[in-house]
Amino acid sequence: MKLVRLIANLGYGNRKEVTRLFREGRVTDPAGEVLYADDRAVHAEIRIDGEPLDPPTGLVLLMHKPTGYTCSRKDAGRLVYDLLPPRWRRRDPALSTVGRLDRDTSGLLLLTDDGALLHRIISPRANVAKVYEATLARDLHGGEGELFESGTLMLESETTPLAPAHLQVLEPRRARLTVTEGRYHQVRRMFAAAGNHVETLERVAIGRLTLDGLASGAWRALAAEEVARVFEPPPLP
Ligand code: URA
């Protein structure tokens, strides 16, 4: 790929702006030698104003989503993209959230510019486990586990029952729920169907991947072997 396009696709500017970066001698190799738009150079060997380029495409980010942020590009209010460097919003291919968490849900969120990977994770056929911890308005009555595991629970206005989901009771009003689908407001609606109300909801794992101490609002790029953990079943309680 031509250098101007490679750099423009990373969000550093449109082609005209990136061409100007070359003319101003701001694009160099690691030794500070000026690169020209027609030069050949690999991603890792390019500097802009002395700084390494942003990560190449094929990026997978792990984010600890705080409550109050929306998984959307254009909603009013705070967006999860606001937590990333502003330039990253102009990347092509674009970074997208892998599924969504509600504005009032916190926890583990993945973002990627790899469309095939994204579909592999969210496809219902992939059976990827999403693990949530919920605090509830009322004590659990004891029948929820069987209801969620049954494979027959039908949520309002849906036409197919939910796949079996696994409930682990942590406290009378706290539970961990593992689901393999990603239906709209699924966890909140499941507890509502069981006569309860979710007060707080956090996603704690996807497959075997956890936040592992990542602070609220923070994010980091994942290595390929960390991404692979998404497809492993979470450890049994
Ligand atoms: N289920 C919900 O109800 N909300 C989320 O954000 C994720 C799963």
Q: What is the pLDDT of residues 93-121, one digit of tens each?
A: 999 999 999 999 999 999 999 999 999 99
Q: Please pick, among 29, 92, 102, 104, the residue that the annotation labels catalytic.
A: 102
- Which one, of 154, 162, 95, lies nearest residue 130 by Cα? 162
Indicate if 90 and 136 belong to the same structural domain. Answer: no
State the burial class of residue 30 (Cβ atoms within 10 Å of its Cβ: 0-12, 13-18, 19+). Answer: exposed
> Is the model's pLDDT at 235 over the cut of 90?
no
Q: Give the list of residues 6+ apart from residue 79 with CB closer than 8 angstroms, or none.
A: 69, 70, 71, 72, 73
Nearest CA to ligand 1 atom 7: 101
Cβ 101 under 6 angstroms from ligand 1:
yes
pLDDT tens digits, 191-222? 999 999 999 999 999 999 999 999 999 999 99
CATH number, residue 64: 3.30.70.580
**Is 92 contained in some domain?**
yes
pLDDT tens digits, 117-152? 999 999 988 999 999 999 999 999 999 999 999 999
Indicate if 67 and 183 belong to the same structural domain. Answer: no
pLDDT tens digits, 22-66? 999 999 999 999 999 999 999 999 999 999 999 999 999 999 999
Domain of residue 19: give its range. 3-52
Q: Mutation test of ligand 1: which of 131, 201, 204 has the most ligand atoms closer than 8 Å to its C-beta? A: 201
Cβ 201 under 6 angstroms from ligand 1:
yes
Distance, CA 220 to ligand 1 centroid (Å)? Answer: 22
Cβ 108 under 6 angstroms from ligand 1:
no
Residue type for position 128? V
Confidence band, pLDDT 50/70/90 cuts, at residue 234 = confident
The number of folded domains in the chain is: 3
Is 102 catalytic? The answer is: yes
CATH number, residue 36: 3.10.290.10
Structure tokens at 173: 């009003």
Nearest CA to ligand 1 atom 2: 185
Neighbours of 235 (CB within 10 A): 9
pLDDT of 180 reads 96
Nearest CA to ligand 1 atom 3: 185
Give the separation between CA 135 and CA 127, rounded to whole angstroms. 25
Indicate if 93 and 160 belong to the same structural domain. Answer: no
Confidence band, pLDDT 50/70/90 cuts, at residue 237 = low
Strand, coil or helix: what is 108? strand
CATH number, residue 202: 3.30.70.1560
Indicate if 75 and 86 belong to the same structural domain. Answer: yes
Distance, CA 26 to ligand 1 centroid (Å)? Answer: 45
Indicate if 178 and 70 belong to the same structural domain. Answer: no
Q: What is the largest CA-CA distance in the chain?
A: 70
Distances (CA, A) of 64 to 106, 136, 177, 214: 7, 22, 19, 6
Cβ 186 under 6 angstroms from ligand 1:
yes
Neighbours of 189 (CB within 10 A): 18
